[in-house]
Amino acid sequence: MYKQATELMLNFKDRILIKGEEDTGKSTLLTEIRISDSDSRYYNFKTLNSAGYNRLCDENIDNFDFLNTPEKTLILDGVRLCEKKMTSKVIRLIKQARKYHKRLVVVADSCESEFIELLFDGVIALSFNSDRERSCNVYTPSRHRNTDNI
C-alpha cells in the first residue's frame, strides 16, 4: 500500500505534503520510511506543545527558526494548514522554503482547501476506505500553477 509513498519520500527532493484524517497513519508512515537523510530534522508538534498549541500554526510559528537551521530536510509533523488566509505565516514558510534550499515534508490533517496542495510538489493522501481499511493515494498537484498569489 505504501510503495509509491515510500518511493516519493525517499527519492523526491522537494516539498511533500502527507495529509489525512486522524488515525490514518500519517506519523506511522514517517517512522516506517525513516528518511535516511542525515541532514534532516524532525519536529513532532503533537509533543512539542509550543506556546500551548499541539500543532504548528500561525500562533506559535515565531517560536521556531526553520529557515536558518543547518539541516536541509525539515520534517514538520502536526501542521495546521486549513487556514485560507494568503497571509498565513505557515503558508509563507512553505513558499519560502525553496528559496532557502530546504526540503519540507509536512504532515497535516486533511483540509478542504485545494490551493494548499498546489504549494507542494508531491502529495500523499491517507484515508480509510469503506471497510475502514487504510488506503494511500500518491499524486503530483498540477504543474501549471502560479502560487505567488496564494
Torsion angle, alpha carbons of 89, 112, 146, 39, to 10: 60
Counted domains in the chain: 1
35 in any annotated domain: yes
Residues 36-58: what's their mean pLDDT?
83
Residues 41-61: what's their mean pLDDT?
87
Residue 93 is part of a domain; what is its CATH number? 3.40.50
pLDDT bucket at 37, cuts 50 / 70 / 90: low
Q: How are beta strands 122-128 and 16-20 bridged, if at all?
A: parallel
pLDDT bucket at 113, cuts 50 / 70 / 90: low
Residues spanned by the domain of 8: 3-132
120 in any annotated domain: yes
Grid cell 506519523 is found at: 27
Residues 92-109: what's their mean pLDDT?
92
Cα gap 83→105, rounded to integer Å:
18
32 in any annotated domain: yes
29 in any annotated domain: yes
94 in any annotated domain: yes
pTM of the predicted model, to two decimals? 0.85
140 in any annotated domain: no
Q: Is 147 left (phi over 0), alpha (psi -120 to 50) or beta?
A: alpha
Q: Smallest Cα–Cα separation from 90: which of 11, 70, 111, 131?
A: 111
17 in any annotated domain: yes
139 in any annotated domain: no
Distances (CA, A) of 116 to 10, 22, 24: 22, 19, 20
Residues 133-145: what's their mean pLDDT?
77
